Chains A and B, each alone.
Chain A
Amino acid sequence: MIQCKTSKEIGGMGHSMRRKEDARFIQGKGQYVDDIKLPEMLYMDIVRSPFAYAKITNINIEKAMALPGVLAVITGKDLEQYNLHWMPTLMSDTQMVLPVDTVMYQSQEVAAVIATERYIAADAVELVEVEYEPMQPVMDPYKAMEADAPVLRIDKEGKTDNHIWHWEAGDKEATDRIFDDAEVKVKEQMHIPRIHVASIETCGCVANYDKVNNHLTMYMTTQAPHAIRTVIALVAGHVGLTEEKVRVISPDIGGGFGGKVPVYPGYVIAIAASFLIGKPVKWIEDRSENLQADSFARDYHITAEMAGTKDGKILATRFKLLCDHGYTDAAANPSKFPTGLFSICTGSYDYGHSYAEADAVYTNKPPGGVAYRCSFRVTEAVHAIERITDCYAQEINKDPAQLRFDNFINKDQFPYKSALGWEYDSGDYHQGLQKAMEVVGYDDLRKEQAEKRARGELMGIGISTFTEIVGAGPSREFDILGIKMFDSAEIRVHPTGKAIARFGTKSQGQGHETTYAQIVAEELGIPAEHIQVEEGDTDTAPYGLGTYASRSTPTAGAAAAIASRKLREKAKKIAAYLLEVSEEDLEWEPGKFFVKGAPDKAKTIQEIVFAAYTNHPQGMEAGFEATHYYDPPNLTFPSGAYICVVDIDKETGEVKVRRFVAIDDCGHIINPMIVQGQVHGGLTQGLAPALYEELIYDEEGNILNGTFMDYLVPTAVESPSWETGHTVTPSPHHPIGAKGVGESPTVGAPPAIVNAVVDALSHLGVTHMEIPITAPKVWKILKEKGAL
């Protein structure tokens, strides 16, 4: 049971408070970007390339322009006049807004049509005539690295290959020495395929440039409105759009998952169009455009190795990565971390040596690498370590649960310095796995598996015990385009004791309007019901870096607590004044200060706040407001123990997840209902790449499943009934001991599922399966192994 310090009426931490934001969503009154309608608004639609790599020899816009209702057709040449045809990516690479002469991937933006109506814009797209000279694209990242591969980024002066960057971490020599001498070594090649966030709302915006006041209001699907405002000012300051002239509003967002962090060409073209025409311009992607042109994640090729003893002590790991970024590095990582936080790959285990290296490469795919529900490549890292740990257990014929128990970092070893340099804040991995095994009934399942195997049936049990790294991050290391990754809260309490709290983050379904209110309620005793939370408007919210990578609770949540505590300090002074005692004589309980030993001599927070406006002590500032910008001293390290049980249909190769138990540890829990909901959703987004999702390209660069017809997002039928639970190991450095949870399940689930499938097939000599584990893949293996 989760202990609550506040009453249900106050609704502080630990209460499963029903969400405050739901009222509008369940009654059809949410305001998503496509719901915004401004007077004289125009519509933009985009002409896209049918080829993955081609020269553009001519664009004829005549017929399109002749269509009544069409106001403009914008091409790269038009933007070139303003030097807006290229833009920087978040990783300081460059990306075309619109091409002047070459397209680099299929479905790339080639021109944009602006018209008075949505349907006319779509008609005009068909009338824009583009002549191409197709070239042979480079789709395979290994081929892209070969010496004779055509150089794709000839726009970069002096570029002689397709290599983007090299990265490494750890002590190579010491690690190699351990591998040389180790009794047991295992090695596996893994591909974490390109997948898509597929939020049900696509991307879009309404750019509204007001010529008279030289002011831009940009309504857009963004998870990081303040950063976007700064980027707009940096890119368009030279044409007069300085930062005070730009207001970014992120309305209700229909799911983000990292896909709504980057700046896509469509946004920039809409701004340019509104700037040139002087009217609001709306751009909303189709689903197919969304699947084909943006919001990609993953696409890492990983070689993972583990060295250990014969009896199961892990000694070292090695990882070699090839990172396919498409034609530009448009990942949304903190600047100093080109592979994101991949270096969490040493996992939950106590061993001294690891070495990881990565090379990134250009190909003719769309710009890739958004942090899809993941702190920048943690998914890849966790897949690698949890898979290779199982390979090791299989090699020495040891139960994978026992192997994990034998190698876990002990709870008394925290803070723990990992072989690649992170300081894990806290954890109790033994407790988590123990609990997961009890809930799932591990020993009985192993017995059942043995019986089934004897009968020729295929059943597997897979474990994943992962350590996460979230809450980016301490400003000494973490920035995006130079802006430090702090986050903020501003709380104003009105005279009658009700409050408005604003944040630099932006919910996309996580429930911030409820959970942030609960944090303030916990600290101040003002009922969460009476705390209105606002985010997403850069004119009103304090500056922050936004919501992604499970950073909201670790950063803005902490800011909420500390801003509240500043207010409590002020409240104490006022209470002492009102009660005519000294501050030392006062004690706090949620909602009031009282005199020690005389509990009926008390002032409620509401009385105190009222006094702050009506009867404050002389010399004290009136009002009751506080702001805090929180710079975390460290990241937080949530963890989880997941166990998956699969049954495989021998006739079809179909994998069915029979049970899935997820025990998560995200420190202190703000709202159990919401945490559990996050886990359910994240698990389903872990199931998807494990069994169903992958964006597939042919050699010509055609995307083969770029619509919802053939990119299989799991429905309620594919998704199992998830079983969830928790342990609580508070973060010692976080003001409320919380750690963040959103991405844990997405990161932790895939290896549990793969480990279960491999476990089901291990007696046939199977040691690894590449994701997604589709029925044909399994069926083929069964046939090869003569098990049909």
Chain B
Amino acid sequence: MAIVSLKEVKKTYPLGKTEVHAVKGVSFEIARGDFISIAGPSGSGKSTILNMIGCIDVPTAGTVELNGQITSGLTDREITELRHKFVGFIFQSFNLIPVLNVYENIEFPLLLGRNTPDQKQRKEWTEYLIEEVGLTDWAKHRPNELSGGQRQRVAIARSLATKPELVLADEPTANLDSETSEAIIGLMKKINIEMNTTFIFSTHDPTIVELAEHIIKLKDGLIASEYRRDK
């Protein structure tokens, strides 16, 4: 079964008296363990689609299914729990919490909601993730003391805190130089293989697109092309 499935998804934003058709009817499926890039020029609807998959926005028409479950019609509490358990987020501008240090930022999602793991479990897992993204020496530092690449590593570790099956990254490399960008995608790929976590990242950088195995190209809110590269 596909981990993500979009069926005739449309999204319309009101804009003054008119409307913006950001996504105009998109269907695709993503398999578990996929490493997929959603590519397209600015305004093509990448962020909108990722937001709908990540349950922080709802489609105007059509359905989004995660693990076969239709996400529309859930209460905010249920949606939040679903996000918490099932989805991790990585953002273009890192979006770390400035008053928390590296360790605390990564641990943060574990402290939310009910069923908080105990202190020891949290510590073990957080330290493992810090090591996994190579920031062991930086655990006590706050985000403003880190470089862009380091911050995005923290964000990657945080996105994995609750062991989600799916990680969404909206232009994770847009604020990074090309070398760092490739390292970041490389790290994501490593985790994709090690943990079998599904990664969906958007980008408009052609060299980054090529690092994905499964590519969906958007244009004007529609799929322009979709293809897989052989591993």
Q: Do A and B bind each other?
A: no
